[in-house]
């Protein structure tokens, strides 16, 4: 006894049903200045980035800070100027986010650098190839207990700041409409 195969008739040009659902991206972050928290003497040890479906992310690590509410100020600026010297730090991109963390990038007791970055240069170990939103990330310096970074993005886009235990997270959306 042989098996009989039957095929359902499918009209020519009909597309198969979609099996994957679109990612719902968060909305409502806005692009206005965001500040909060308090200063810490715990130094910045690393700055890293990552790509996500809806946004690009920068994380400032402060291991040992051991508390929520770490201090920050993140805002769009026309040009990035280094604290202390006032020197202009060029940052590539359609818009520049100035990211300030209320923590030094040096040992407060000795003044020795803890985070191995040089003012005006790209962040060490950060490669932004393939990112949808991030274009450049420059270290501006660490002055009087604050660490300053210029984050170049493709346009003025919504962002959020998440002060977490031992780190500060900055997410910049890929677009305004909540789509990917």
> Domain boundaries in the chain?
34-172
Contacts of 7 (CB under 8 A, 6+ apart): none
**What topology does CATH give the domain 34-172?**
Immunoglobulin-like (2.60.40)
d(CA 21, CA 98): 35
Which residues make beta-bridge pairs with 48?
59
The secondary structure of residue 108, as a DSSP letter, is T
| Residue pointed to by tokens 């679109």 | 22
What is the residue-level pLDDT of the chain in tens, covering all 180 positions? 444 433 444 444 444 444 445 668 887 899 999 999 989 999 999 999 999 999 999 999 999 887 667 899 999 999 999 988 899 999 999 999 999 999 999 999 999 999 999 999 999 999 999 999 999 999 999 999 999 999 999 999 999 999 988 999 999 999 988 655
d(CA 49, CA 159): 14
């Amino acid at each position: 006894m042989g098996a009989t195969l039957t095929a359902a008739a499918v009209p020519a040009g009909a597309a198969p049903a979609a099996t994957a659902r679109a990612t719902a991206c968060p909305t409502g972050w806005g692009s206005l200045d965001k500040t909060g928290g308090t200063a810490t003497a715990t130094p910045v040890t690393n700055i890293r980035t990552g790509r996500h479906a809806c946004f690009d992310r920068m994380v400032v690590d402060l291991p040992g800070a051991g508390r929520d509410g770490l201090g920050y100020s993140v805002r769009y600026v026309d040009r990035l100027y280094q604290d202390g010297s006032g020197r202009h730090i060029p940052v590539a991109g359609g818009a520049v986010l100035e990211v300030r963390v209320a923590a030094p990038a040096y040992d407060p007791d000795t003044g020795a650098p803890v985070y191995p970055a040089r003012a005006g240069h790209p962040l060490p170990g950060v490669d932004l190839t393939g990112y949808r939103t991030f274009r450049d990330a420059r270290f501006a310096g660490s002055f009087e207990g604050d660490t300053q970074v210029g984050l170049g993005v493709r346009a003025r886009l919504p962002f959020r700041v998440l002060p977490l235990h031992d780190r500060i997270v900055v997410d910049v959306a890929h677009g305004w409409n909540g789509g990917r």
